[in-house]
Structure 1
């Protein structure tokens, strides 16, 4: 990284340190591990009686928290990671190519840049490609140097937001920010929502494989990028659904649909153990009634893909509207486990909304919980489903215990907020999306759904139960 960029980042991080003044930033080593706890391994999670997972959208860690003091941020990136390489020529860029209308005509150097100098955090950027095979090429075996060349948004993918402009950064400074948390699977929202609920990549039963228009398999070119970008993996890999495909159950749309799934989910395990839970989605009631908001995302409703939660089944009662969550938080009737999925206008997804609107919605949800009767034994986990096509400098893990052919993908921000949580704490422990499943499984004595959640570190290092935090 060149000296001028280091000076800019050092100044920005110093500004955030002033913003977050008060708590002392401490950290836990990335090598620390709480191990793959088995059933009954509740330990420091025992005081949590309500876990709220808020699943926001499409930002990498460096894109939002790359300037957070004490975190493994942009200033620690190597020149290899910050310098993006053109896939066709193998050479760095003289000027970053641009396709976002706010950036076209600029000649920015080949290094991370402050997006807000060109488009404010209260304005929408364009969307960026975030698909299964594309992200693997972007990661480039851990070099993290092909985000720009693969992206349809080109140079925008290398941009970042000044962390001190983010309302939720103040919560991260007060409580716990995890800076070594990766989204579970390469690619986009559909697949990562599935990994949040089943720790698995769904199989398309009886998939057509004849090369016709009904064949949904991907075909790759010699450079590893798709020449046909299908909903399924290549035929050689199998009939796995990895890119956006829609549910067979209503609400849905008339496009490629995944046959109903029957494998186990965390919802099945919670129900089987008599533990209360719900998936709360913004705009759900309107979508069920047939009047879906234009920014309601059907592929963000992972349980709607499963036979056990189809219309008319007992499990359907667990799928509720975000307004039901807000009412429960205010009334003190939260279930043991809540998954909250804001609608497109409120979830920070580029192209759908702007960062500040999504952050302000997060702040409102946090305050609804914090001001409600359940706050004293509640833990909030805010994370992002995937990187949204934005660059990050940290290579995902590749060891057999914490990775497989599906991922994990890039780092995403994760914040733990709770009266039971540590204060001013940057947690460097290795996590991915399945760490949320591991936390649920070990707190409520459930069996792991797969090998990844069985081996994942749960989030207990974020908590200091019994140490008097208020």
Structure 2
């Protein structure tokens, strides 16, 4: 078990919010991890999904991890600039931009992708650790993954599908990639909305994919088959985050069935009620609103405090001893990262590294 990696006396104290004036309250220290017991298993898994960051962007200087503050450009190198979590710009992060960043595996094309009139060198940044202290505290006291890669070099639509399915292949030769042409992204998309495809040998066909209301199987099918409870906590449709990041809106059997009301729960803050009532399901996904998401361009730095609140709420509940918490960022968001994805490429992947913390 992950907590067995820790000495029994280690305490996690997420008392500090993020820098730059975060107003979200952060609750008190967590209890120590329970001692490992042979034959004892976690009965709850909570997946906290944040947005659009690479490992180097959040953990470039984390001790012992595979991070760097020196980036490769198409014609040399440059130092990554220490920056604020709060950002007014959102770098480009569709598949064509990923290919330019990747540059045939050289990992030196990030500076060739401008953001409007802003030079591509903007993405050579790492966030000041003082502004993401809750993430660093969790990483120090629990488990951080520094070689976790996106399934594809793609953006949030397919990245969120990957988190409920582990791939977006619609047949043996084609997989969804990038974004639907209109929002909401899913069965509630306007008529005429289409998706894009990438083939097994990485050919890209923009706008050639189906309407984003899909019939493929997801983890929901596996959980339901074994009568394992699950909930997906998400901002409501009509909310920016609810329109774009609700992965189950794209799953026809859920969107058009009873589980849309029973298992897809809005608002996302409903998770606190279930924690307090000790009614967490066996598997939970928790999707933040835009302000709390870490998404660049949101002009907010409250993501770390949001994650800390959820983790600490579980820490103060009876579920703490039986709950594994995974904090994951959905895609690279256009930021620089120095590690080349491993293996041979297929269906547009693997993509770049994203941070992962397991508690």
| TM-score bucket of the superposed structures, by smaller chain | 0.7 to 0.9
- Deviation at residue 314 of structure 1 after TM alignment: 4.1
Is the contact made by 1:244 and 1:299 (CA closer than 8 Å) also made in structure 2? no
- Deviation at residue 150 of structure 1 after TM alignment: 2.0
- Deviation at residue 173 of structure 1 after TM alignment: 0.8
| TM-score after normalising by structure 1 | 0.60
The structure-2 alpha-carbon separation of the partners of 1:365 and 1:195, relative to structure 1 and needing over 3 Å to count, comes to: same
Gaps of 5+ in 2: 1-9, 12-37, 195-210
Match of 2:206 in 1: none
Q: 1:144 aligns with which of 93, 107, 111?
A: 107
Match of 2:57 in 1: 63
Output the CA distance in 2 between the equivalents of 1:198 and 1:157: 29
Q: Does 1:370 align with 2:315?
A: yes
Output the CA distance in 2 between the equivalents of 1:382 and 1:276: 20
- Deviation at residue 319 of structure 1 after TM alignment: 0.7
Gaps of 5+ in 1: 1-21, 24-43, 86-90, 93-109, 205-236, 418-470
Q: 1:83 aligns with which of 58, 68, 72?
A: 72
Match of 2:129 in 1: 163
**1:77-116 alignment, distance < 5 Å:** 82-85=71-74, 91-92=75-76, 110-116=77-83
Output the CA distance in 1 between the equivalents of 2:87 and 2:294: 9
Match of 1:17 in 2: none
- Which of the two has greater strand per residue? 2
| TM-score after normalising by structure 2 | 0.77
- Deviation at residue 391 of structure 1 after TM alignment: 0.6
Alpha-carbon deviations, 1:152-204, whole Å to 9, x = none?
A: 25112111113243122111111111111111111100111111212222549
The structure-2 alpha-carbon separation of the partners of 1:267 and 1:158, relative to structure 1 and needing over 3 Å to count, comes to: same
Q: 1:186 aligns with which of 153, 157, 172?
A: 153
Is the contact made by 1:277 and 1:336 (CA closer than 8 Å) also made in structure 2? yes
Is the contact made by 2:241 and 2:288 (CA closer than 8 Å) also made in structure 1? no
Is the contact made by 1:347 and 1:353 (CA closer than 8 Å) also made in structure 2? no
Match of 1:242 in 2: 177
The RMSD of aligned alpha carbons is 2.5
Count of matched residue positions in the alignment of Structure 1 and Structure 2 = 301
The structure-2 alpha-carbon separation of the partners of 1:175 and 1:130, relative to structure 1 and needing over 3 Å to count, comes to: same
Output the CA distance in 2 between the equivalents of 1:254 and 1:157: 35
Is the contact made by 1:47 and 1:377 (CA closer than 8 Å) also made in structure 2? yes
**1:7-46 alignment, distance < 5 Å:** none
Match of 1:256 in 2: 193
Q: Report the secondary structure of 1:395's partner residue.
A: coil
Output the CA distance in 1 between the equivalents of 2:192 and 2:276: 38
Match of 1:227 in 2: none
Is the contact made by 2:45 and 2:282 (CA closer than 8 Å) also made in structure 1? yes
Output the CA distance in 2 between the equivalents of 1:59 and 1:200: 20
Alpha-carbon deviations, 1:397-442, whole Å to 9, x = none?
A: 124xxx523311111111011xxxxxxxxxxxxxxxxxxxxxxxxx
- Which of the two has greater helix per residue? 1
Output the CA distance in 1 between the equivalents of 2:281 and 2:143: 23
Find the structure with the greater CA-based Rg. Answer: 1
Q: 2:233 aligns with which of 276, 280, 286?
A: 280
Q: Report the secondary structure of 2:326's partner residue.
A: strand
Q: Does 1:384 align with 2:329?
A: yes
Q: 2:91 aligns with which of 128, 141, 153?
A: 128
- Deviation at residue 249 of structure 1 after TM alignment: 2.7
Output the CA distance in 1 between the equivalents of 2:296 and 2:252: 32
Output the CA distance in 2 between the equivalents of 1:137 and 1:238: 23
Output the CA distance in 2 between the equivalents of 1:46 and 1:254: 50
Output the CA distance in 1 between the equivalents of 2:289 and 2:113: 28
